[in-house]
Amino acid sequence: NATSYGVMAIVIVSLQTCAGMWINAFMTSVLCVAWLKKKSFNSNEKILLFLGCCRFCYLGITWAYFFLSVIYPQCLYVHPIPQILSAIQTFLNFSNLWVSAWLCVFYCIKIANFRHIFFTYLKGKIDRIVSWLLLGSVLFSLVISILVYNIIDEAHSDNLNSTGRGNFWRLNIKMDEHFFPLFFLTGFGFAIAFMAVIFSALLLLFSLWRHKSKMQTNSGKNLSMDAHVKAMKSVLSFSFLYSVNFACLILTLIYATKKANLVAFLILVLQYAFPSVHSLILIFSNQKLEKTLRRTLSWGKCKVCMR
């Protein structure tokens, strides 16, 4: 049963990883080609490029970590392999989550219409702030990853000492004691990003409702309304995905110290789907990326038919 579970898990996760890495590599390559052509980047493209690179690397390192844990788990007890892999995975995951949240905030500030002086100030400065937000996300993720490295290194050292003294029954207890700070850091950082996403969605929804009320007497097509609706679809779909991912995080914290089971496997599958599905939504929300994807798929289909 354990062997069949491991094989099935590797196959499913590998397929998800390949699909996700291809989607994010496609988005990144299209944006890089566009940048080389016009020699400039707007704020939206900066966020999408950073997000695509983070997710590509995150899926790759997470797959490597999972593959080693199933095929050769003994190597995860060799210092400092688990510490380094966990720290890199945490850095990329937090960067991904925070930059995704900033993307929702960016859409909200750019599209929503509020007359508050602070909101007006942000709308005028958001393009300059984006680079600093990305840098702040990287620095915050780096700090968290260093803390994760230290926590896992301490847990690893203590477990080696306890098993060296023959106290094998203390192993799981010690792991739980060390991982509580790790769970708290992960949950706290993700909860703040989740609140930013939900708050941006609510503000954008309220702005859309106000704008629609003002435009009820106008039967003509309104560009601002179209922008509101398009942004609202992206933010709401992302809010749903973020909510599912947040629930998976809570369940991961519950099942992290338990043996592999069906629930843990389903949680893993959903978490792997998040970077791929959201990137696909971003591609179809961007006219340039969508057209390029359709041309690429049509070209690939023609090549297959010719064979």
Q: What is the mean pLDDT of residues 44-73?
A: 87
pLDDT band at residue 26 using 50, 70 and 90 as cut-offs: very high
Asked whether the predicted pLDDT for residue 166 surpasses 50, the reply is no
Q: What is the mean pLDDT of residues 51-61?
A: 91
Average pLDDT, the chain: 77
Q: Which domains does the chain have, with CATH numbers?
A: 1-161+169-213+226-294 (1.20.1070.10)
Distance CA(122)–CA(130), nearest Å, equals 11
What pLDDT, in 10s, does the model give residues 234-245?
Answer: 777 778 887 887
Distance CA(65)–CA(152), nearest Å, equals 15
- Please report the pLDDT score of residue 43 as a whole number: 85
Distance CA(147)–CA(95), nearest Å, equals 15
pLDDT band at residue 9 using 50, 70 and 90 as cut-offs: confident
What pLDDT, in 10s, does the model give residues 290-304?
Answer: 888 888 877 766 665
| 9 against 158, higher pLDDT | 9
What pLDDT, in 10s, does the model give residues 167-192?
Answer: 333 334 344 555 667 777 777 888 88
Q: What is the DSSP string of the chain?
A: -HHHHHHHHHHHHHHHHHHHHHHHHHHHHHHHHHHHHHS---HHHHHHHHHHHHHHHHHHHHHHHHHHHHH-GGGGGSTTHHHHHHHHHHHHHHHHHHHHHHHHHHHHHHH-----HHHHHHHHHHHHHHHHHHHHHHHHHHHHHHHHHHHHHHHHHHHHHHHHTT-GGGHHHHHHHHHHHHHHHHHHHHHHHHHHHHHHHHHHHHHHHHHHHHTTT--S--HHHHHHHHHHHHHHHHHHHHHHHHHHHHHHHHHTTS---HHHHHHHHHHHHHHHHHHHHHHHHSHHHHHHHHHHHHHHHHHHHH-
| 300 against 42, higher pLDDT | 42
